[in-house]
Chains A and B, each alone.
Chain A
Amino acid sequence: MDAIDDATLERMLDLAAVAVGDDARERLRKDLGRVLESMEAIAEAPIDDLPPTYGVGEESRTRPDAPVAGLDREAALSAAPKSADDHFVLPSAMGRSKK
């Protein structure tokens, strides 16, 4: 795995919706590069044919289709940074693609 280049870092920050100041950015890029470089052992290990393990949990449980009391609307809205007319309010998403 190669170290992270600036364009890639930019794309990751964008995907993660995080912004980083300029000096912090370079440090971040370098730190991440070192972390990724330290992972050579994984790249070279003889594990190509092993199936990935995504979780060690046993069989998934399910629940019956019966209503369970939820959150009171007032409680939920009062915890929100902004609300109006029984709705949660955010700056407009218009013009922003759903991505």
Chain B
Amino acid sequence: MSALEAVIGLEVHAQLATRTKLFCGCETRYGASPNTQVCPVCLGYPGALPVPNERALELAVRAGSALGCTIGRASRFDRKSYFYPDLPKGYQISQLDLPINEGGELRVGERTIGLERAHLEEDAAKSMHVGDQTRVDFNRGGVPLLEIVSKPELRSPAEAEAYLRELRLLLMTIGVNDGNLEEGSFRCDANVSLRPKGTEAFGERVEIKNVNSFRFVRLALEAEIARQKAVLGSGGVVLRETRGWDEGSQKTVPMRGKEAAADYRYFPDPDLPAITLEEARIEQWRAAMPELPAARRERWLAAGLTDYDVGVLGQHPAVAAYFDAVCAATTMRAKKVANFVQSDVLGHVTTDGLEASPPVPAEALGELLNLLAADTIHAQAAKQVLGLMAEEGIGAKALVEREGLAQETDAGAIEASVRAVLDAHPDQVAQYREGKTKMIGFFVGQVMKTSKGKANPKAVKEAAERLLNEPE
């Protein structure tokens, strides 16, 4: 059998970072007590009507812009009908023929993956099966989702995982989605089929649903590709079906029996006239969009950061913003700020959704770094001061004074201290003069001791080298 290639498409449902639901004013905050974020609209009560959330439209357009989609000047909502406990109206309001975003693409490593669309729809409620009952919590029902559908252009499970990471980072960076996988605000379904390399026709595809981590998406795809290869290899036929990922067996398993394709009876929702977006409004929304990861990367590289720095500091939008704010608050070079933040600050930053809580505010850290850049304190002292700032909430300057950590910078005083140390250790001086230049560290250490850490190590070293190399 000729070599087979995998054809993978991904469907991501990303919850839009709005305060309220897509069609009503109920809050969307995760973790609320069941059925406390409900109203006649999202419970599908008689007489209730949907009204679209302006911010959801804005965030959808923002995402569409960032993904290079064509923004629909007139988009429409459609009803998708079926009966299920988590669907209070007996239909889901989604978008079929005229989605808000069409086309688009996402750069993943060296390749560009095409998108079909990114459309708006409301989330279903949460249903749980308990014994012979189904129990429903409608808090989630009506939450705004952006369904982002890729073209079937991904070629490997690893690439699929990379796509998901890129997409999640992009959406988080522009404030559209909080990237919280555990809370289910970023969900993914995968479609995979196999075909002989070099051919155009698609094989029968299998949908993999309910995989709640990127790693599992990759593992599930690997397992499913292996399964399909085995089926085809033994002369069998791959059936179109929906499968889930079973962590225990590390395999994909059938989710539902064979069924006729559903008839969703899509038609335009008569409660929602078409949304017309004028160029001016789209431009306004585009202008308000936060910097895209690609642009930020260019900016940071130009400022002297490495690829590695970009990766670490860019992984969370609030952390990135914090870093930029610190740079703006200090004269220290961006690369040095990046080093300091990574080594001494990041470990103490906590994140929650799109928010981050650093140990000290950006302005305050900027003040500390200015002291460091001016050699008023040395690195060791800076770490100490940072700890005190986080604990006590007092500013850097005040703490340096209080703790007496200001370095001795007076050249005369330093020279005097160095002379004193050299005079006290003639054997070590002789060793240095014989060629053991490493002894310089000893002298610097001694001066640091006698000055109780106040002397500027750099200045000490310079002075020591000068004095040691003076002709006798």
Residues of A within 8 A of B (CB): 15, 17, 54-55, 57-71, 73, 76-77, 84-94, 96-99
Contacts and interface: CB of A to CB of B under 8 A. Distances in A.
B72 interface: no
A62 B39 contact: no
B52 A76 contact: no
Contacts of A73: 33-36, 38
Given A70-B38, A92-B131, A97-B256, 18 more contacts: A15-B265, A17-B83, A55-B268, A57-B273, A59-B274, A60-B274, A68-B20, A68-B26, A69-B39, A70-B26, A73-B36, A73-B38, A89-B133, A89-B134, A89-B135, A92-B132, A92-B134, A94-B129
A71 B129 contact: no
Nearest to A74: B35
B24 interface: yes
Contact of A70 (B39, B53, B81): B39
B106 to A, nearest CB: 26
Nearest to B268: A54
B37 interface: yes
Contacts of A63: 25, 51-54
A99 B340 CA distance: 55
Nearest to A85: B135
Given A88-B138, A92-B133, A93-B134, A65 B273 contact: no
B270 A60 contact: no
B256 A65 contact: no
Given A59-B276, A60-B275, A54 B270 contact: yes
Contacts of B84: 93, 96, 98-99
A77 B52 CA distance: 26
A65 B55 contact: yes
A93 B127 contact: yes
Interface size class of B (residues with CB under 8 A): 35 or more
Interface in B71-92: 81-85
Contacts of B18: 65
Interface in B83-105: 83-85
Contact of B133 (A62, A68, A91): A91
Contact of B19 (A62, A66, A93, A94): A66
B27 interface: yes
B263 interface: yes
A62 B35 contact: no
Most buried by A among B129, B134, B259: B134
Given A67-B19, A76-B43, A99 B134 contact: no
A91 B132 CA distance: 6
Q: Main SS of the interface on chain B?
A: loop
Interface in B25-69: 25-27, 33-40, 42-43, 51-57
A72 to B, nearest CB: 9
Nearest to B131: A92
12 contacts: A15-B265, A59-B274, A60-B273, A62-B51, A64-B55, A71-B40, A77-B35, A88-B85, A89-B134, A91-B134, A93-B129, A97-B257
B262 interface: yes
A29 B38 CA distance: 40
B53 A88 contact: no
Contacts of B36: 73
B51 A65 contact: no
B223 interface: no
Nearest to A15: B263
Interface in B250-267: 256-257, 259, 262-263, 265, 267
A62 B26 contact: no
A98 to B, nearest CB: 5
B136 interface: yes
B273 A62 contact: no
Interface in B173-204: none
Contacts of A91: 132-134
A65 B39 CA distance: 15
A69 B25 CA distance: 7
A54 B79 CA distance: 13
A59 to B, nearest CB: 6
Contacts of A67: 19-20, 25-27
Contacts of B265: 15
B272 interface: yes
Of the candidates A59, A62, A73, A98, the one having the most CB atoms from chain B within 10 angstroms of its own CB is A98
B462 interface: no
Given A71-B38, A92-B129, A98 B135 contact: no
Nearest to B75: A60
A62 to B, nearest CB: 4
